[in-house]
């Protein structure tokens, strides 16, 4: 992409999608509404947006995904929404999925609710960060994507190649065990459920929550949607995996040990940002027993911590 600031231009797509770009996060509940905003945002990124050197730490940042989407838009010379429709939505017959809010009402958009169950007006919209999770979709359409990913993992994908599916589920970063898992690949959190690989990614916006879970070895995928915000789906996922795949509830550490947080060179930047510092010494080992998760007291994804030494590949 021409015209990017020097440190941004040096980033790779792998760093952007694996959340190892070093970019900091930004809130994105409401912002730009015009589709030119994505490229404008990419060109506006500069050195001040970095919170760590590229390739050194796992730092979940929506701007990194936005930059990857802007690169796709520039390469194909078409709007990101149109590129996703032609590359993914149309080939998989995801006819009720769109990245354009103006098209959502005609597709039967649900009414959102806050964490207390009260209705909320409108919906989140920020075209600067559209690639980070602003699609309108249905459980049925997302199930078509899940089916495609599982087929691709077997070498039978129509849109995704086997190499892409396998790369998405291969760890790039390791971090201490939490309810997010034990690492991150290309766009997916990676977890181990007593020997079974479980991949997942969720998201929340004002009034809505979503989660996709993949268990490649069992050829199983889950899609969970709720028109209520701040829902993590942990107990539902546990029950579904136990019932459908015979996998026991996951054991994890609720919070990183204090020693990890004290040792971390990273510092809190904003409430919505959580990240793991890394070292070149290899994966860190968790001290003490791993107790079963107490989901009733699990922190939500918006909590912010500093995590200690982990490893990035």
Strand partners, 48: none
- Overall average pLDDT of the 107-112 stretch: 88
Domain with CATH 3.40.710.10 in the chain: 1-134, 138-254
Q: What is the Cα–Cα distance from 5 to 180, expressed in whole angstroms? A: 33
Q: Is the pLDDT higher at 295 or at 209?
A: 209
Q: Read off the pLDDT of residues 235-283 as tens digits, 9 standing for 90 and up.
A: 899 999 999 999 988 665 444 444 444 434 343 333 333 333 332 223 3
Q: Read off the pLDDT of residues 184-197 as tens digits, 9 standing for 90 and up.
A: 999 999 998 888 99
Q: Is the pLDDT higher at 185 or at 308?
A: 185
Tokens describing residue 172: 């790039």
Q: How much is the pLDDT for 108?
A: 85
**Range of lowest pLDDT (3-7, 33-37, 121-125, 228-232):** 121-125
State the DSSP H helix or E strand holding residue 274, giving kind and residue range, or none if neither: none
Is the pLDDT at 101 greater than 70? The verdict is yes
Fold for the domain defined by 138-254: Beta-lactamase (3.40.710)
- Kind of pairing between the strands at 306-307 and 275-276: parallel
DSSP classification of residue 98: B
- Kindly report the average pLDDT of the chain as a whole number: 81
Q: Read off the pLDDT of residues 40-57 as tens digits, 9 standing for 90 and up.
A: 999 999 999 999 999 998
- Sequence-distant (6+) residues with CB within 8 A of 14 are 20, 172, 186
Burial of 69 (0-12, 13-18, 19+ CB in 10 A): buried
Assign domain 1-134 one CATH number from 3.30.565.10, 3.30.310.50, 2.40.30.10, 3.40.710.10. Answer: 3.40.710.10
DSSP classification of residue 114: -
Q: What is the Cα–Cα distance from 274 to 276, expressed in whole angstroms? A: 7
């Amino acid at each position: 992409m021409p015209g990017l600031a020097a440190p941004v231009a040096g980033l790779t797509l792998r760093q952007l999608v694996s959340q190892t770009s070093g970019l900091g996060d930004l809130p994105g509940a409401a912002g730009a509404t015009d589709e030119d905003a994505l490229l404008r945002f990419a060109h506006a990124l500069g050195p001040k947006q970095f919170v760590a050197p590229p390739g050194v730490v796992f730092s979940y940042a929506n701007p990194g995904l936005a930059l990857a989407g802007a690169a796709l838009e520039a390469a194909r010379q078409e709007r990101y929404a149109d590129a996703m429709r032609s590359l993914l939505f149309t080939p998989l017959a995801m006819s009720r999925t769109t990245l354009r809010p103006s098209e959502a009402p005609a597709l039967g958009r649900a009414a959102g609710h806050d964490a207390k169950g009260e209705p909320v007006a409108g919906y989140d919209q920020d075209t600067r960060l559209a690639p980070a999770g602003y699609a309108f979709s249905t459980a049925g359409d997302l199930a078509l994507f899940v089916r495609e990913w599982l087929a691709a993992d077997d070498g039978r994908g129509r849109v995704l190649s086997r190499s892409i599916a396998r790369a998405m589920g291969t760890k790039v970063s390791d971090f201490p065990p939490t309810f997010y898992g034990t690492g991150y690949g290309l766009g997916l959190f990676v977890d181990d459920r007593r020997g079974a690989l479980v991949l997942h990614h969720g998201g929340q916006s004002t009034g809505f929550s979503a989660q996709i879970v993949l268990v490649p070895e069992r050829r199983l995928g889950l899609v969970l949607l709720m028109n209520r915000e701040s829902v993590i789906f942990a107990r539902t996922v546990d029950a579904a995996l136990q019932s459908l795949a015979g996998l026991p509830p996951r054991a994890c550490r609720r919070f990183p040990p204090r020693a990890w947080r004290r040792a971390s060179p990273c510092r809190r930047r904003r409430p919505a940002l959580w990240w793991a510092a890394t070292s070149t010494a290899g994966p860190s080992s968790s001290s003490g027993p791993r107790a079963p998760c107490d989901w009733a007291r699990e922190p939500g994804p918006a909590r912010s911590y500093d995590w200690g030494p982990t490893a990035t590949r």
